[in-house]
Homo-oligomer: A and B are copies of this chain.
């Protein structure tokens, strides 16, 4: 199937008639870094006016859902609630709790930022590592007698790894110790494995590349990956939206990445819409094999609103 490009008012009307659930990737679709993209606000308002379900799905694990809400507010996007946001840190917390069934008296070692800590703590877990200032008080200076490296916590029952903007050699090395401990039996969960992290028009180091370090050092692969395109996040979304569970074809996944967003929607049985404001080009979209091509693509999300005027 060749992707159809949406450029006409009629096509937009058909889109609005065809779907009840609109799932959005955020960065590259709604905004680029701290800049909201044109007519995004108007498009979201229009969808809400038509009683569409609007759901935000992001692999960025540095923010919790609470922090995401603040970002929406800051950019002037109103009326979003915590229940509308599914992040990979939330998906990870749900995975640890519901699938792994880790008892809450076991601690979790984190290679990552606050987003993961907050979501796990909300479910009653004690987290170690993460943004603990004790791990960065020497900056990037490494001391091999650091107490958190030499005295591992016996009660750590899970390692969660994601994007760590405050990564240093100490954090990586302690994570390595827990992954090697107890004959490599402590579960190793990744928030997502995106190799790159787009920021201000550049590709920076992604969660998957940070995770690759400790993976290579310990000869272990993550036991589970919770972000897009993994379906554990989709299953959570469907559990909250029974209509989508019954009729996935009434759902449209909108994103800027073929290998995460579009794959995520496709594997979940949804139709897909790629926007060209993020990482992909029209050339790349048109060169996809038929069974991996998005259902539709368009220049920018705001065209939904703009084309209707």
Residues of A at the B interface (CB closer than 8 Å) are 33, 136, 139-142, 144-145, 149, 164-169, 172-173, 176-177, 180, 195-196, 199-200, 202-206, 208-210, 212-217, 219
Contact = CB atoms under 8 A, between A and B. Distances in A.
Nearest to A164: B169
28 contacts: A33-B144, A140-B140, A140-B166, A140-B167, A141-B166, A142-B165, A144-B199, A144-B202, A144-B204, A149-B202, A165-B169, A166-B168, A167-B168, A167-B169, A168-B168, A169-B205, A173-B205, A195-B219, A203-B217, A205-B213, A205-B217, A209-B214, A209-B216, A209-B217, A210-B213, A212-B212, A212-B213, A212-B215
Contacts of A216: 195, 208-209, 212
Nearest to A196: B217
B167 A167 contact: yes
Contacts of A136: 139-140
Contacts of A139: 136, 139-140
A173 B204 contact: yes
Contacts of A212: 212-213, 215-216
Contacts of A215: 212
B169 A140 contact: no
B164 A176 contact: no
A144 B202 CA distance: 9
A47 B209 CA distance: 46
Nearest to A206: B217
Nearest to A204: B173
Contacts of A140: 136, 139-140, 165-168
**Most chain B beta-carbon contacts within 10 A, residue among A145, A149, A205, A206:** A205
A212 B204 CA distance: 15
Contacts of A165: 140, 142, 169
Contacts of A166: 140-142, 168-169
